[in-house]
Amino acid sequence: MAKLLVVDDEPNIVFSISECLGSPALKVLTAATGKGALDKVRDERPDAVILDVCLPDISGLETYDRIRALDPRLPVIIMTAFAQPETAIEAMQRGAYEYLLKPVDFARLREVVEKALVVSRLNRVPAVVDDAAATSPPAADRIVGHSAVMQDIYKTIGRVAAQDATVLILGESGTGKELVARALYHYSKRNERPFLAINCAALPEALLESELFGHERGAFTGADQRRIGKFEQVNGGTIFLDEIGDMTPATQAKALRLLQQQQFERVGGNVTISTDVRIIAATNQDLPALVDQGKFRADLYYRLSGFSVQLPPLRDRREDIPVLTDHFIELYNRELGKAIRTVTPQVQQALQRHAWPGNIREFQSAIQYALVHTSGEVLTLESLPRSCLLEPAVQTGPVGSVEDVARLVGQLLAAGESDIYHQVSEVVDRVVIEEVLRHVHGHQQQAAELLGISRMTLRSKLRALGLTAERAAGGSASN
């Protein structure tokens, strides 16, 4: 269970936040003073903190500094009254996760807390290579595979992680680029400083530039306060820029300067700000082709690709499928309260035959689905998703094309199936929902809006497919 510490001397505020955010998955701790907050941080090890700047004993800013001294990776959300946002902005410059104005917008607060808890997990749960799993904490996320190509990747991570250099991770969707980025962070000299992941494809251009570099008051419509960007906020830490191939030319230019000089200006500002961040970038796109098309800066590509890690698709390392099967069965046995001991030879054959266009993310979802639909101790062929039992429509390339769907319908017709619509809809739903959730980093409300369905309908579909938002988005255990 995650823990959230709420620090405020107004009982009504504390009660309202506890009622709004408390759940079986989130324990809300409270403190009314700065000293009480520090005691709770030491004793309870919360995953995130909501901190009011006006406290009866010591200031919120001093309390924040002391919390950072205890745990520099702990996300702290600052709350402030309308009259004094400057204190919160100063805390953001020192590394606070976010600041919110009172009176509290509970919808916004819930969204910020959900994201802060994800950041907390990325910072606290190490990502380790398979060879190190035996000496790693039980909660560690593992990059799994014994194949020769994976051994080469482990060696590359070992060589590059401690160099404090920019790294570019390449690979198809679902191959585990974020997990490799986290491993590079875990084995680096900055692993006691914050780690933050930004999906460049999930935000419009103006919002992405503001998120990364911050903005000054009045920089654009709605910019009523100065905002501190992530490159300033995570000073001393590591930033993972996922889907960097989707970054716009204007943002690319500012990112290049940051890489070269560790300097930038906030949007709408003219003061040069210096920072010290390590950048790890990733993309599933062909960056040289984008350079040739004029869609990606050549100088930025060369700056990013000094050290690169190329992740293979699962179809190119099928010898790892048995160990991956064991790994995810062990994982979901714990999460689902199951006791699956093994799989039948027919299951292994089916897993080996499938093309896995969604790579590890698809494989992980398939094993989770199979465990949900298994009642005994042996996983059988009947438990696997139907998509794993059919010949692949396309051996390579993206999943979900019209040709894929037509091929699937043809196979079902040839097999004499009678519920074709249901089976095809299930396959398409899985692809669409997983891709959208990955795009928004598992945020269900945003995913529902993009899909054009209610959040309740999305949850219903996730249950029907045997998915969780975190896993569908390629969360903690995606490899």
- The CATH code for residues 127-312 is 3.40.50.300
Contact 48, 117 (CB under 8 A): yes
Model pTM score: 0.77
Residue 396 has a pLDDT of 34
Number of residues that this document lists for the chain:
479
Residue 75 has a pLDDT of 95
Contact 110, 87 (CB under 8 A): no
Dihedral (CA of 11, 12, 17, 23) sign: positive
Give residue-wise pLDDT tens across range 151-200: 999 999 999 999 999 999 999 988 999 999 999 999 999 999 999 999 99
Query: Which amino acid is it at 383?
Result: S
Residue 129 has a pLDDT of 86
Query: Which amino acid is it at 431?
Result: V
Closest residue by Cα to residue 182 from 442, 471, 477, 438: 477
Which residues have C-beta within 8 Å of that of residue 287, sequence separation ≥ 6?
168, 170, 245, 296, 301, 304, 305
Give residue-wise pLDDT tens across range 337-375: 999 999 999 999 999 989 888 899 999 999 999 999 998
Task: Extract long-range pairs of 41-46: CB within 8 Å, 24+ residues apart.
Answer: 41/5, 41/67, 41/70, 41/71, 41/74, 42/70, 44/3, 44/5, 45/3, 45/71, 46/3, 46/4, 46/5, 46/74
- The CATH code for residues 2-123 is 3.40.50.2300
Which residues have C-beta within 8 Å of that of residue 306, sequence separation ≥ 6?
165, 166
| CATH 1.10.8.60 boundaries in the chain | 315-472
Query: In sequence order, what DSSP letters do the residues of 149-169 get, joined into one string?
Result: HHHHHHHHHHHHGGG---EEE
Contact 160, 185 (CB under 8 A): no
Task: Extract long-range pairs of 369-373: CB within 8 Å, 24+ residues apart.
Answer: 369/465, 369/466, 369/467, 371/329, 371/332, 371/333, 371/336, 371/338, 371/340, 372/336, 372/466, 373/466
Residue 438 has a pLDDT of 81
Residue 141 CA: distances (Å) to CA of 152, 162, 307, 338: 19, 20, 23, 20
| CA pair distance 337, 442, nearest whole angstrom | 23
| CATH 3.40.50.2300 boundaries in the chain | 2-123
Query: pLDDT tens string for the chain (479 positions)?
Result: 899 999 999 999 999 999 999 898 899 999 999 999 999 999 999 999 999 998 999 988 999 999 999 999 999 999 987 656 677 788 888 899 998 888 889 999 999 999 999 999 999 888 988 765 555 565 678 999 999 999 999 999 999 999 999 999 999 988 999 999 999 999 999 999 999 999 998 888 778 999 999 999 888 887 878 889 999 999 999 999 999 999 988 899 999 999 999 999 999 999 999 999 999 999 999 999 999 999 999 999 999 988 999 999 999 999 999 999 999 999 999 989 999 999 999 999 999 989 888 899 999 999 999 999 998 899 999 999 888 886 544 333 334 456 667 777 777 776 666 667 877 787 788 888 888 888 887 788 888 888 888 877 887 787 766 666 655 565 433 33
| CATH 3.40.50.300 boundaries in the chain | 127-312
Contact 192, 304 (CB under 8 A): no
- The CATH code for residues 315-472 is 1.10.8.60
